[in-house]
Amino acid sequence: MTQQRVRHLISIDDLTDDDLRALVARGAELSAAGGERAGGRRPLAGTVAGIYFSKTSTRTRTAFSAGALRLGAQIVAYGPGDLQLNTGETDADTGRVMSRMLDVLVARTAGDPAQMREWAAQERMAVINAMSAEEHPTQALTDLTTMLRRFGRIDGLRVLYVGEGNNTATALALALTRFPGVALEMRTPPGYGLPAAYRLGAVEQAERYGSSFLERHDMDGLPDELDVIYTTRWETTGTVKPDPRWRDVFAPFTVDSSLWEASPKAVFMHDLPANRGDEVSAEVLDGPYSIAFDQAENKMHSAMAVLEWCRPADGSPR
């Protein structure tokens, strides 16, 4: 049988509207199934998944490794010092070689996504971005899966994101603004907002899809009656802030229980790991508002949905 073209996930922009909704719905379905996980199916039986992480990871690496195994795949794991990239082999050659041995490559580089695009310049091996410097698309899919599980819908949700305009924030902005009626407001510290291209993309998408997007650099006049309040760690994996006094700029953006006075029904989300007392108080993270650890578990369910989606279209291994 002729090998069908594989599907890559390097950016949320790689997904059609149907793909995005289907992936989120499938992640929620797997989450709801609990112990059944894949419903007893092993659609990746006979396939091999490469798991390459050049940066630290607890949730994402575990999610894709466990998810691949539950779906029937075998895995080959690589650490930061394992590939010949370190000795000068080109990204193009690395992708060509790995595509002849692997069916899927899940990669975290915290670098330029152009590297993953080079690995994806073939039609034999699917490439999944498990985090690059600019965007964390599988985190956004996890986040939307968690929202769908909690509210039964994404359309029309009111979401406040507080913190740095990092790779989690960019992916969230690209994903949420594609759902009609969503109101996404981001409050980012001065000098640490969304990259201009992502901010513009979110604004344009909001106009096109009938959602709304706003970014401000203060904590005054916050919206009320929110459904979700979301923050992330101030020190994103693989990054260093050039300003030695950056904590002074970030301090007003701590999420504490005062934010629930105007939004008593809101849930709290965090992509983890968390530093209690920095971006979020312990009272919030460990309190009744928080669904952050359900969100973490949903990383595996969402990863399984992505792995199923990326496999060859004819459903058969190579």
**pLDDT of the residue at 69:** 96
Per DSSP, the three-state class of 77 is strand
pTM above 0.85, yes or no: yes
Spell 159-184 as b/e; 16+ CB within 10 A means b: bbbbbbbbbbbbbbbbbbbbbeebbb
Name residue 183's beta-bridge partners: 158, 212
Give the domain 12-135+299-310 fold.
Answer: Rossmann fold (3.40.50)
Spell 125-142 as b/e; 16+ CB within 10 A means b: bbbbbbbbbbbbbbbbbb
Tokens of 201: 């993309």
Could you list the pLDDT tens digit for every one of the 318 residues in the chain?
Answer: 344 578 999 999 999 999 999 999 999 999 999 745 555 678 999 999 999 999 899 999 999 999 999 999 999 999 888 998 889 999 999 999 999 999 999 999 878 889 999 999 998 999 999 999 999 999 999 999 999 999 999 999 999 999 999 999 999 999 999 999 999 999 999 999 999 999 999 999 999 999 999 999 999 999 999 999 999 999 876 677 888 899 999 999 999 999 999 999 999 999 999 999 999 999 999 999 999 999 999 999 999 999 999 975 454 444
Per DSSP, the three-state class of 192 is coil
CATH 3.40.50.1370 intervals, the chain:
12-135+299-310, 137-296
**pLDDT of the residue at 242:** 85
Report d(CA 202, CA 157) in Å as an integer: 16
Per DSSP, the three-state class of 42 is coil
**pLDDT of the residue at 300:** 97
**pLDDT of the residue at 195:** 97
Give the domain 137-296 fold.
Answer: Rossmann fold (3.40.50)
